[in-house]
A and B are shown apart, each in its own frame.
Chain A
Amino acid sequence: MKYRLLIIVLIAVFAVRCERNDICEEGVDASLLKLGFFDASQPDSTMRVSSLYVWAAMKDSLYVDAETDSIALPLDPGANHVRFFVSDSLHVDTLDVFYDKSPYFVSEACGFIHEYKIQNQTQVTAHWIQAMQITDSTITHENIHIHLYH
């Protein structure tokens, strides 16, 4: 009977050792800035852009000829400001995003992520975008953070 207890313990040892905890699930890093496009004359309704191009200075395009009313942009973890170019294929507006960041520990597999907070200095030029409003400055929230009116 005493050896049965030993077997149970050895099985428990294997169970502990075999549990995988080194995989970081997708979506844990909810650090994308979400922008929505709205009708300037009817501020509550979304208004799709039919041919949208978005890129950051000297980098690849994030959106190419996209038809959408919302976009999700990454922020630079090594800086406090990112400059994006947003185009409706006729004109280009410059979006300067300023933010604070603080490291936040998630798990052994994922390590740390940043919690970003959008600052009020964030602004956009007005060639085809008429107005901008920060509706949620906390990037970890899943909703639209900035409204763009055109």
Chain B
Amino acid sequence: MLVSRAQQVRDSVEHSDPVYGLRIGVEIAHPIVHLLKDSGYSMEVLADYPVGKKAFVEMHLGSERAYRPTTRFDFTAQGKYLLLGYRRNLFDNFKGQHHEVYMGLYYGIAAFHDVLHRYTIGNESDYFGSVTYEPGRKYASLQAHWLSYRTGVRAEVLPRFFLELGVGLSKLIYRTSLDNFEHFYIPGFGKVYPGYWGVNYYYTLSYSLPLKFSRK
């Protein structure tokens, strides 16, 4: 059997990229953590759409209330947030596969308020002991903007059903200044670390809607 040189070099398996369209899902890591710690709630829905053969644009909308106790003070941060992002798939899918190993960049905005429940001045072991204030002070109309780099894996575990596990590194680029307080947790961003960095892990379930799109 004679085969040309060109034909011998080709793979016998075809490579292909997603032909799925709009996909919607929910984030479940944060809601579960809040449930387990009884520290509030989190609801986040997401949607993404393919751009070309190896990329997606993505949007998240969320609402979170987080109660954060520390040794010296307790507060609650509550509000809504929006994320817009673009991610690229590094994984070479075989025909019919729709898995992802992705890297993406996101821009996040949150509108929220803080309530400072109580704080303690001094220690019990001091000469005069300590005193605890319970001001219930509300810091309203707060805003935060951030950039987030996320990477992870999104696998099609059942036809059209995807499971994603990812980590993200975020940096706060704007936050409303507070009078005599600081930002330590922002809905959507998470815990604020020194230098206004954030680190998160994500666990999402999504479903690719069986809508017919004509091939372009």
- The residues of A with any CB-CB pair to B shorter than 8 Å are 2, 5-6, 9-10, 12-13, 16-17, 19, 21, 29, 56, 59-60, 62, 74-79, 82, 103-105, 107-114
B157 close to A (CB within 8 Å): no
Interface pair A111/B167, CB less than 8 Å apart: no
Interface pair A114/B121, CB less than 8 Å apart: yes
Chain B residues positioned under 8 Å from A62 (CB to CB): 127
- The residues of B with any CB-CB pair to A shorter than 8 Å are 70-73, 90, 103, 119-122, 126-131, 133, 149, 151, 167, 169, 180-182, 184, 193-195, 197-199
The number of residue pairs between A and B whose CB atoms lie closer than 8 Å in the complex comes to 80
Chain B residues positioned under 8 Å from A103 (CB to CB): 119, 121, 133, 180
Interface pair A111/B193, CB less than 8 Å apart: no
A29, B129: Cα distance in complex, Å: 14
Interface pair B121/A111, CB less than 8 Å apart: yes
Minimal beta-carbon separation of A54 from chain B (angstroms) = 11
Interface pair A77/B194, CB less than 8 Å apart: no
Chain B residues positioned under 8 Å from A16 (CB to CB): 169, 193, 195, 197-199
A56, B30: Cα distance in complex, Å: 51
Contact for B169 among A13, A75, A108, CB less than 8 A? A13
Minimal beta-carbon separation of B165 from chain A (angstroms) = 13
Closest A residue to B129 using CB positions? A78
Chain B residues positioned under 8 Å from A2 (CB to CB): 90, 103
Interface pair B130/A77, CB less than 8 Å apart: yes
A60, B126: Cα distance in complex, Å: 12
Minimal beta-carbon separation of A40 from chain B (angstroms) = 29
Q: A19-B194, A62-B127 are in contact. Are A112 and B73 (CB under 8 A)?
A: yes
Closest A residue to B167 using CB positions? A13
| Cβ-closest 8 pairs across A and B | A111-B72, A76-B128, A78-B131, A77-B131, A74-B127, A77-B122, A16-B197, A105-B180
Chain B residues positioned under 8 Å from A112 (CB to CB): 72-73, 119-121, 133
Chain B residues positioned under 8 Å from A108 (CB to CB): 70, 72, 182, 184
Chain A residues positioned under 8 Å from B199 (CB to CB): 13, 16-17
User: Could you jot down 22 A-B contacts, CB within 8 Å?
Assistant: A5-B103, A6-B103, A6-B151, A9-B169, A16-B195, A16-B197, A16-B198, A29-B122, A56-B127, A59-B127, A62-B127, A74-B128, A76-B128, A77-B128, A77-B130, A78-B130, A82-B128, A103-B119, A105-B182, A107-B182, A109-B72, A111-B72
